[in-house]
Amino acid sequence: MRITVLLTPGAAPVSPHAAAVIVDVLRATSTLTVALTHGAARVLPAASPEEAFALRRDEAGALLCGERGGRRIPGFDLGNSPDEYLPSAVSSRTLIFASTNGSRAMVAAASARRRVLGAFINASAVVEAVAREADVVVVCAGEVGRFSFEDAAFAGLLCERLAARGATIEGPAARFARTLAPCDASETRALVQGSSHGRALRSLGYEFARDVEFCAGLDRVNRAFEI
């Protein structure tokens, strides 16, 4: 197995032979992992709100989900908080998802053979989901086209755990990300809470601070999901 890392979605093309792990710790892949755990039928990522509205015209009964600037988009059914994606809201529903960063990473990896949602909340399950792949690329959502510390740290954790199983870490981005990998749950919580994105979300109010706390939890969910 070889593992590479894209620190931002547009850093390089994604091979059609690769299994892509999409990472947006704060908050898209954490939120969608909760949604799928709670019975959502599928996720259709959209690069923009306009694309999301267009997709819904062909998807009767789908929910419009996502945010801009951290807050729910006007006219959307749900935002980007894990707390919103209760079974009563999402069970058996298609989610059309357009977030500032995460959905763009999902779209950027559309050429991959598989797209697995990755976050600290299901890190161990993600490792198991891709452990037998020959080629893994971790696509970090970043933050508006820039490097995101918490996403790179998750990529590093994945590199570290897969390297322990014999994977080859390829490229400077993967080697750099590996240096950021947290050692345990306490380090994970500290780095997510202390990241610039984590601090910015917490400044928006109590509900956002609660989301950051949730997303900083290691292995809260024991399943990994594909889109």
pLDDT band at residue 22 using 50, 70 and 90 as cut-offs: very high
Q: Return the CATH number at 141.
A: 3.90.1560.10
61 lies in a domain?
A: yes
**What Rg do the C-alpha atoms of the chain give, in angstroms?**
16
| Residue 144, domain extent | 2-215
User: What integer pLDDT is reported at residue 10 of this predicted model?
Assistant: 85
pLDDT band at residue 11 using 50, 70 and 90 as cut-offs: confident
Task: Using alpha carbons, select from 106, 91, 92, 94 the residue that is nearest to residue 59.
Answer: 94
47 lies in a domain?
A: yes
User: What integer pLDDT is reported at residue 138 of this predicted model?
Assistant: 98
Q: How far is CA 43 from CA 25, 52, 174, 181, 191, in A?
A: 17, 11, 27, 28, 28
Q: How far is CA 88 from CA 84, 93, 182, 202, 220, in A?
A: 10, 10, 35, 27, 20
- Quote the CA–CA distance of 42 and 93 in Å, as a whole number: 7
- Counting the structural domains of the chain, the total is 1
84 lies in a domain?
A: yes
User: What integer pLDDT is reported at residue 73 of this predicted model?
Assistant: 96
222 lies in a domain?
A: no
225 lies in a domain?
A: no
74 lies in a domain?
A: yes
Indicate if the pLDDT at residue 145 is higher than 90. Answer: no
What kind and span of H or E run contains 65?
A: strand 63-68
221 lies in a domain?
A: no
pLDDT band at residue 169 using 50, 70 and 90 as cut-offs: very high
pLDDT band at residue 144 using 50, 70 and 90 as cut-offs: confident
